[in-house]
Amino acid sequence: MKKPKFKLATLCSAIAAATVTTFAPADAAPFPLEITFLSEGDEEGEYKELHINIPVNDTTQPIDGGVVRYYDVAIAQAVAITYQSCKDRNEQGADFFLTAGNQGQINMGRFYISCNLAHDLGIAYGLNDSISRPVISWGGIYWKHMPSLNLDTDAKSRRFVSFSSNFKPVDR
């Protein structure tokens, strides 16, 4: 009776390992993004503009053989930066301009991330401080490192890929 249990346990472990490999969460730390952020405000409100370049031509490639693509990592980073720059849900969100390629030659569109959406996603996923990227302010001055959304489980990774696949630009 013990032999079949051992074989079943071994089979279940092999299936679990294959699932983890197939849906590996984003390990975005080694993947650089070129990020520039502008925030200007007055008594009428604050304007936020975020530019991210993905330095590859094919943004649909999965990262490290997982389900998360380069595109998803950029969207997750933009959401995290917007979340951290919004003092509350009701303020003005960020215009997000996404490009790809070594020289930013591929225009992927202008998106809008509301503070309400950023708060919902920031709370749902949390932030991953071990994956942070440098953000440059307008004019080329280093601003600070910003953590990304936490896509550290298979479930979070798949759920976020589903979200980002349906998150469309407001214009190109």
d(CA 169, CA 3): 56
Q: Considering the entire predicted model, what is its pTM?
A: 0.78
d(CA 84, CA 148): 10
User: How far from chain centre, in Å, is Cα 120?
Assistant: 14
For residue 55, give both structure tokens: 């330095």
Write down the pLDDT at residue 95: 95
User: How far from chain centre, in Å, is Cα 164?
Assistant: 9
Where are the domains positioned within the chain?
30-166
| pLDDT 10s digits, 75-129 | 999 999 999 989 889 999 999 999 999 999 999 999 999 999 999 999 999 998 8
